[in-house]
Structure 1
Amino acid sequence: MSEIRGLTKSKSIYKGYITIREVVVSLDREDVRKTDAKEETSLRRHKMPPYIKKLVDEVHGDILVSLSARALSSRFAYMIQKSGLPKITFHGLRHINASVMHLLGIPEKYFLERGGWKTDKVMKKVYRHTFSKNRQEADTKVDTFFEAQIANLNSMDDAV
């Protein structure tokens, strides 16, 4: 959630990509924007699918998510409940994303990189051997899957 709250148009969005550069954390009930990542793998870049680009373009101002952590969590829980999906935490989305990538046959090194997870083994294998073309193919495959899921939900809403 801190990564989502840290996104800005000026620093995070560039040429069709979202880059995780900053986080917003709550310290003593105050929001603090931090630019120093806890891990080198925390600074990562994701291809922005068209449906996300559209949402970003609709935001007025630089900060993409101005909600507090509590408000964001509450709104997320409400939307999950309203949609009839099983209860899940915001953080659980990271695990779902990794599981979907595994389901789609995305090589482990790409989902570790996308998720920002790090081990010594990953540092030796992933960051030395990730090829841009393969990573772009992995991103496209994951984005296509989620776009189809959103289209299915939208068509169900239209039918009601």
Structure 2
Amino acid sequence: MSLNVPCFRIAVLPGDGIGTEIMAACTQVLSVLTEGNAGFTLDLAFLEAGADYFVRTGEDISQEAFNTARTADAILLGAMGLPQVRLPDGTEVAPHLAMRTEFGLFAGVRPVKQYPNLPPVLFDSRGKNVDLVIVRESTEGLFAHRSEGRVIDDRVA
């Protein structure tokens, strides 16, 4: 194998609650993927952000962590926010929303496909024919108040 294998820098933001558990499993999978002759390496930069971080520091993400995420090849984001932790204006602590705005992100893309030689996740025999991509637009609802939405009678308009 060539000594010049590409190295991809991934900003890992476990976040809060179940996000930390999810990231532990995700990083184990990434470790296995790079074992042996993978043809690439990964440089994982673990960053703190979210509601727990806000409670400890008074900010939802440090500028240093935000800049590290900005310069990474990819961002691996866990769950962020805790219902009992709010900003003074009553909104959720959500640094991932600032990242969406900063990086021009507007959708979550979720592919669904059954791959050969892997245990099926859809047990109906028709599942082997499923091959679709779900695009979840994410500029409204929870996200609207961060840009142009207005709160009227406890509802975002």
Superposition TM-score, scaled by structure 2 size? 0.26
More helix as a share of residues: 1
More strand as a share of residues: 2
Superposition TM-score, scaled by structure 1 size? 0.25
Max radius of gyration: which structure? 2
